[in-house]
Amino acid sequence: MIFKVLNYGGNLKMKNVMRWVAVLFLLGGMTSAWSAGIEFRQVTTGVYAYVGPLTDRTPENLGLNNNIGLIDTSEGWVFVDSGAGDLAAKALEKAAQKIKSQPVVAVVNLGSQDHRWLGNDYFARQGAKIYAYQGTVATQKKMFAQLQSSLVRKVPALKGTKMKTADKVLDAEQNSFSIGGVAMQLNFYGDAHFPGDAVLWLPKQQVLFTGDIVYVDRMLGIHPWSNVVSWNAAYQSMRALPAEFVVPGHGRVTNWQQADAETGDYLAKLVETMTEEAENFSGVGAAVSANVNWPAFKHLKHYDSWHKRNLNRAYLQIEASL
Ligand SMILES: [Zn+2]
């Protein structure tokens, strides 16, 4: 079609040429829109993060509405979490190869939510070793079928993903190891968003990958299987790490100040307030309606849809434990 337009020549027709060029450019852009959307940004030397959108899982984002870490080592890439299935893992791998073409030698899983580990099978087939804390692996095995089916309802292209858990299952609460010259520590501080959630600490780079223990920019979510009391305690223990860079599970790469303001303070307030309400036998309805308005957290995305649910679940969990 470009030829046809070119054959006409003339100034007026030049406008048409430009229009076609623009249309073709747009079409080209659309087909590569998603792969262009996955981009790792440098956190500090040799450490990168992909920051996922704050929306839900969609066919367009391949379930990658979370953050993923990437570490450059002398042996190759190490991924911190593996994405929501084969296609997502492949897209992540492609984005890493854009920075440097080298094999993916390992994946460290921080959690058992779909987008943290359903890409394990893909990376294992490329030769990567999977690392995870034993409590994470236990939850992954227990929840695989449930996670997979609810994910596929939202992102049908991810169906058929196979379960693959860690080759190196780490049992201690603090596990120090090194891959390709980079010292790492996989730490467990307590059940949180999911049972067995862990964090990865890079002591030299002072980078902390928190997985879903920290959310910034958006409201965190208490699920029926989350443990609000131990999540709060886990956050407080983890807080002792002298992190210069905090890569949260969701939201921008940040520091302790924002993590405290948007996760630590929220969890502490949830536990404190709902413990008081439960001890006073307020009843869940009254406890929720007395606390719907927490101005310090209203700026967080999804506050309206998640805050009430969080209050509700926190009250019921705490009441049941009294
Ligand atoms: Zn998540």
Q: Quick check: is 312 in a domain?
A: no
Say how many Å lie between the CA of residue 5 and the centre of ligand 1. 50
Q: How many domains does the chain have?
A: 2
The answer to whether 89 and 123 have CB atoms below 8 angstroms apart is yes
Per-residue pLDDT of the chain (322 residues; tens, 9 = 90+): 333 333 333 444 545 545 554 444 444 433 334 555 799 999 999 999 999 999 999 999 999 999 999 999 999 999 999 999 999 999 999 999 999 999 999 999 999 999 999 999 999 999 999 999 999 999 999 999 999 999 999 999 999 999 999 999 999 999 999 999 999 999 999 999 999 999 999 999 999 999 999 999 999 999 999 999 999 999 999 999 999 999 999 999 999 999 999 999 999 999 999 999 999 999 999 999 999 999 999 999 999 999 999 999 999 999 999 9
Q: Quick check: is 209 in a domain?
A: yes
Say how many Å lie between the CA of residue 157 and the centre of ligand 1. 19
Range of the domain at 109: 39-255
Query: Do 226 and 81 share a domain, yes or no?
Result: yes
What does the alpha-carbon distance between residue 297 and residue 314 come to, in Å, rounded to a whole number? 16
Residues ≥6 apart with Cβ < 8 Å to 108: 78, 79, 80, 81, 130, 131, 132, 184, 186, 200
Query: Do 152 and 241 share a domain, yes or no?
Result: yes
Say how many Å lie between the CA of residue 178 and the centre of ligand 1. 26
Say how many Å lie between the CA of residue 193 and the centre of ligand 1. 8
The strand pairing partners of 245, in sequence order, are 207
Query: Do 50 and 25 share a domain, yes or no?
Result: no
Query: Do 119 and 87 share a domain, yes or no?
Result: yes
Query: Do 75 and 211 share a domain, yes or no?
Result: yes
Query: Do 27 and 155 share a domain, yes or no?
Result: no
Query: Do 104 and 21 share a domain, yes or no?
Result: no
Query: Do 119 and 99 share a domain, yes or no?
Result: yes
Say how many Å lie between the CA of residue 281 and the centre of ligand 1. 32
Query: Do 4 and 95 share a domain, yes or no?
Result: no
DSSP alpha helices (H): ranges in the chain? 2-8, 11-31, 33-37, 86-99, 114-117, 120-125, 134-154, 228-238, 256-259, 265-279, 284-289, 303-321
